[in-house]
Structure 1
Amino acid sequence: MTACNPQAPGVDCPRCPRLVAYRLALRRDFPDWANAPVPSFGPLGARLLVVGLAPGVRGANRTGRPFTGDYAGDLLYATLIDLGLMTGVFDRRADDGLTPIDVRITNAVRCVPPENKPTGPEQVACRPFLAAEIAAMPALRGILALGRVAHEAILRTLGQPLKAHPFAHGALHPMPGGLLLGESYHCSRYNQNTGRLTNPMFREAVTRLVEAIS
């Protein structure tokens, strides 16, 4: 097996046996998919980092780009484009020409987990990559957590107590080093279909963070 790069996992990262087995099964069944840890998308010089939970099996795991190929990406990318953080047109494929300007997108867990549910140990195993991501962004001012799991992963990565920063849609939490942590309910199909998250709610939460770090 290939060892993981200290800043980003390699295509055969061996850290999580369950995720490795799932990855290999997907490679057998869908050999034309990416089926590898999904790399971050966007410039390291961006001021905003968006952190999701994990790749979707038919979304980012298939296309090789975060939030690309699944329902959640429609709202996320449309909002980022509208706010001027990206240029181009999002088309649910990695070669659509979409260009991030001042935002980078990643996941707390880089490999697709069965049933979209990474275990606690899997989240811990992937945390060094999130820490390296944050450390590698010299102009970083704000981090947007999509959902509670991403919120808690960011806090643990930054060494902050969870109780001092409870998850709440639209909240802003000052972090060490002048960082600002913003958060939204995850823009999943379930949250949108049930009305837990609406387009205006999501745009308002993202806008609030973007304006605060401008």
Structure 2
Amino acid sequence: MQEFNKKLIECRKCDRLVRFREEVSGRNSRYAGENFWSRPVPGFGDISGSILVLGLAPAATGGNRTGRVFTGDKSSDFLVSCLHEVGISNIPTSTSIDDGLEYYDTYITAVLKCVPPNDKPAGEEINNCSEYLEFEIDSMSNLKVVLTLGTVAHTGFNKYLRKKGFDTRGKKFVHGEVYDYGKFKEVCCYHPSPRNVNTGRLSRKQFIDVLWKVKHQANRFH
């Protein structure tokens, strides 16, 4: 994966995303003086694992700042504390690239590798990024379960599936739904964004329940 990640972080395909990821560091006084990563953010975790957690994109002051997916922002606080509760991570926090975090049997990445303005990527930007996601999924030779966090992640994964010849007709994003593709399964879940968590759309208990479902589905293959 080293050569792949080296190629990924040099990507400048999308002019809008390149401009935004490089400008956003100057828009938040809380991190004044801090050197932002401001490049595409690679996936992180065990590429030989059986579980893939798929998000939307790096957060402006999370992955785009720290250089690691789901690190240093509110979404990562919620996500990683829940992953730790069900035994998927070794520590309950994800604060920096050198904090010692490890994921067990799990790889985490995003459909889009660069932060988009207002968390809304354009279709062309998702298409430009699809080759990277395809490589990551293809590299997971032991993949059993994909946890898609939100509609964009679900749509991106479905695009991958169709390219590989799977029938995704009728497979709409529904929180908690499990779709069986034979080789592996998809579990859908609302994204653990502050908006979803703070409005009660996704509670901690709901998310923990989904994570146990993911682990159960992965274990059924063993």
Pick one of 126, 130, 135 that aligns with 2:133: 130
Counterpart secondary structure, 1:128: helix
CA contact (8 A) 2:9 2:42 kept: no
Larger mean Cα displacement after TM superposition, 14-23 or 143-152: 14-23
Secondary structure of 2:159's partner?
helix
Secondary structure in 1 matching 2:188: strand
What TM-score do the two structures reach when normalised by structure 2? Answer: 0.87
Correspondence 1:1-214 to 2 at 5 A = 9-26=7-24, 32-159=35-162, 160=166, 163-176=169-182, 178-214=183-219
**1:210 alignment partner AA:** K
Number of aligned residue pairs: give it. 209
Offset of 1:6 from its aligned partner? 6.2
> Alignment partner of 2:45: what SS?
coil
Name the aligned partner's letter for residue 24 of structure 1.
Answer: E
> CA 1:99 to 1:117, structure 2 compared with 1: closer, same or farther past 3 Å?
same
Structure-1 separation of matches of 2:72 and 2:142: 29
Q: Output the TM-score relative to the length of structure 1.
A: 0.90
The range that moved more, 19-28 or 195-204, is 19-28
Q: Which segments of 5 or more consecutive residues in structure 2 lack a partner in the other structure? A: 28-32
Partners of 1:146 and 1:58 in 2: how far apart?
19
Describe the SS at the equivalent of 2:158: helix
Query: Offset at 1:92?
Result: 2.0
Q: State the distance in 2 between where 1:99 and 1:6 align.
A: 20
* Residue deviations 1:62-92 (CA, integer Å, cap 9, x gap): 0111111111111211121122122124142
Distance 2:6 2:173 in 1: 27
Q: Secondary structure at the match of 1:86?
A: coil
Offset, 1:143: 0.5
> Relative to total residues, which structure has the larger helix share, 1 or 2?
2
Does the 8 Å CA contact 1:54/1:113 hold for their aligned counterparts?
A: yes
Q: Deviations over 1:26-79 (max 9, x none)?
A: 467777111110111101111100000011101110011111111111121112
String of CA shifts for 1:134-162, please: whole Å, max 9, x gaps.
Answer: 10011111100000110010011111555
The Cα RMSD (Å) is: 1.9
Deviations 1:107-142 (A, max 9, x none): 000001111111111011111111110100111111
Tell me the alpha carbon deviations over residues 163-206 of structure 1, each in whole angstroms, 9 at most, x when there is no partner: 42111111110125x11000100000000111111001111112
- Whether the 8 Å CA contact 2:41–2:114 is kept in 1: the answer is yes
Taking the aligned partners of 2:104 and 2:197, their CA distance within structure 1 comes to: 26
Alpha-carbon distance change, 155 to 8 in structure 1, aligned in 2, over 3 angstroms? farther
Moved more, 124-133 or 11-20: 11-20
Distance 1:13 1:213 in 2: 33
Q: Distance in 1 between the 2:9 and 2:169 partners?
A: 35
1:15 maps to a residue whose letter is K
Runs of 5+ unmatched residues, structure 1: none
